[in-house]
Structure 1
Amino acid sequence: MTIRESILNKFKYKKKGAILLLDPEKYIDTTGFNNIISKAVHHGVDFFFVGGSLLLQKNMDEIILHIKAINPQIPVILFPGNVIQISDKADGILFISLISGRNPEFLIGQHVVAAPLIAQTPLEVLPTGYILVNSGKATSVNYMSQTLPIPNDKPALAVATGMAGRYLGLQYLYLDAGSGADSPINPDIIYHVKERVGLPLIVGGGIDSLDLAKTAWDKGADYVVLGNGVEKNPSLLTEVLDYAKTYNLSLDVDQ
């Protein structure tokens, strides 16, 4: 099954998924890294995202090979912060257009440079509209992209941005409050974007409890992304993945 087929399966049957975002610069302790990967695999994580604002290609290759040595079945997807973060060791890549910003480099500029490189790899390309939402503080994405996020109390603006992304032919939407966000995305934004745009929806940033993950899912997220919250509370990963598994099994029984 391709990554696209896996995502559309969740989307079609309204099942819930969870993704673990790994920034290689934060994982220096090999034992701790192995533990979190093994726990994610054991409890049924859907995908691994690998990326960060300052990573080099060497970092990407090393962490991807490390993940695949532990479990080669679960797809590893690149979540690139810039054009040099491309690795043919991964399974797929989020081909991200930062549609909430107005910096041409992150709307199309770096994509033109990256496209010929990606074409030489077996990576499954996932055209994704990336919408950055204000989390209450400046994040690495704000700084690196030099763009302003959408206000967290403006669902209509987020909806219009998502609709524009769909009309441009993007196949997935990623609502993100940014790494280490002080607050998660307003549930109203998640709800209205999903209702009006109707694309598979990924939501991340500031999800540091099971209740926040459940809220994002309940409002329409197909996948939640866990990152900093797991670093601070490793049990969060188990709680979220176990809940998703139980919820999805209940849908199978109902059908």
Structure 2
Amino acid sequence: MRETLKNIEQSGRSLAILIDPEKMKLDAVAAFAETIPTTILFLQKNLHIDQFFFFVGGSTMENTNFDRWVKKLKQNTPIPVVIFPGSCDQLSENADALLFLHLISGRNTDYLIDQQVNAAKQLKETALEIIPTGYVLIDGGKETAVQRISKTLPLPQNKVENIINHAYAAQLMGNQLVYLEAGSGAKKSVSVDIVRKVSDQINVPLIVGGGLRTMSQIEAVYEAGAKMVVIGTAIEENINWNG
């Protein structure tokens, strides 16, 4: 059943909290799951969120048992867990869904097709809901882990038409979501103008993440047409973050 994509499509506003397992030890997961509902209730009330998700993944996963980590989170929360993978090694049957990412803004074949082929070998019998997702890396004012690991350059924010074309190409290639990402810890988020123009061009749900640290920023992104917003750094820095 394709519940995750269906819920994103049908909700007015979805929000995903991004967690990097390398930044949260396994024995801290239960305490996090117990504490985060206060933040979720605040966001739900003030931003009128219909649906929450956890996105789990990171650029590397060298010192973490990814499957055990995902299983631990699922055991401690009713919120759907979606894998946001940094590589084909970040897979787990304990999650609810997987964003099958296509780094359409890059030109490194490893992230255009090689990682996807290696993942496909492991997903032939999976029960995971797989959601093809066009991933567009946008310049957020600093070098991000995605840029370093993928060895690809982000798209400049002053080249708006180029960003629109990448997003539309992602849709034409059959992706069911388009994700505009400024990167973890970005100094500047994807501009509202870009979000609006991309949203006007595509007819699949638009996800926006990176550099969103205030309620007003998030509200503006929703108003511009994003179906889902992803926050990570703000939560990492303060688990009781309220914008």
* From 197, 213, 217, the counterpart of 1:208: 213
Q: Flag the 1:201–1:36 CA change in 2: closer, same or farther, 3 A.
A: farther
- Residue aligning to 1:184: 189
How far does residue 57 in structure 1 lie from its aligned partner after superposition? 9.1
Residues 57 and 85 in structure 1, CA contact (< 8 A), matched pair in contact too: no
Structure having the larger proportion of residues in helix:
1
Structure-to-structure mapping, 1:81-230, within 5 angstroms: 81-230=86-235
Kindly provide the amino acid, as one letter, of the partner of residue 4 in structure 1.
L
Of residues 8, 14, 29, the one that matches 1:17 is 14
Which amino acid letter does the alignment assign opposite residue 3 of structure 1?
Answer: T
Structure 1: where are the runs of 5+ without partners?
A: 240-255
What corresponds to 1:233 in structure 2? 238
Q: What is the rounded CA distance, in whole Å, between the counterparts of 2:149 and 2:36 in structure 1?
A: 28
Q: Compared with structure 1, are the counterparts of its residues 56 and 117 closer, same or farther at alpha carbon in structure 2 (3 Å cutoff)?
A: farther
Contact 2:36 2:240 in 1 (8 A): no
Distance 1:115 1:133 in 2: 27
Q: Which moved more, 1:203-212 or 1:27-36?
A: 27-36
What's the counterpart of residue 243 of structure 1? none
The CA deviation at 1:62 is 2.5
Residue 76 of structure 2 aligns with which residue? 70
The yes-or-no answer on 1:4 pairing with 2:1 is no
* Structure-2 separation of matches of 1:20 and 1:51: 11
Tell me the CA shift for residue 35 of structure 1. Answer: 3.9
Q: Is the 8 A contact 2:8 2:205 kept in 1?
A: yes
Name the counterpart of 1:251: none
Deviation at 1:68, TM superposition (A): 1.6
Cα distance in 1 for residues equivalent to 2:72 and 2:61: 16
How has the CA–CA distance of structure 1 residues 160 and 131 changed in structure 2, closer, same or farther, with 3 Å as cutoff? same
Aligned partner of residue 15 in structure 2, secondary structure:
strand
- Tell me what 2:32 maps to: 33
- When residues 57 and 77 of structure 1 are mapped into structure 2, their CA distance, relative to the original with a 3 A threshold, is farther
Kindly provide the CA deviation profile for residues 6-33 of structure 1, in whole angstroms up to 9, marking residues without a partner as x.
01112xxxx1111010111111372652
**C-alpha distance in 1 between matches for 2:192 and 2:238:** 23
Report if aligned partners of 1:38, 1:70 keep a CA contact under 8 Å in 2: no
Equivalent AA in structure 1 for residue 10 of structure 2: N
1:51 aligns with 2:46: no
- Residues 65/37 of structure 1: CA separation in 2 closer, same or farther (3 Å cut): farther
Cα separation, 2, equivalents of 1:70 and 1:198: 35
> Considering only aligned residues, what root-mean-square deviation do their CA atoms show, in Å?
2.0
Aligned length: 233
**More off after superposition, 47-56 vs 200-209:** 47-56
Matched residues, percent identical?
Answer: 38
Superposition TM-score, scaled by structure 2 size: 0.89
Say whether the 8 Å CA contact 1:37–1:67 is kept in structure 2: no
Q: Is the 8 A contact 2:199 2:226 kept in 1?
A: yes
Give the whole-Å Cα distance in 2 for the aligned partners of 1:75 and 1:32: 17
Aligned partner of 1:247 in structure 2 is: none
SS of residue in 1 equivalent to 2:65? helix
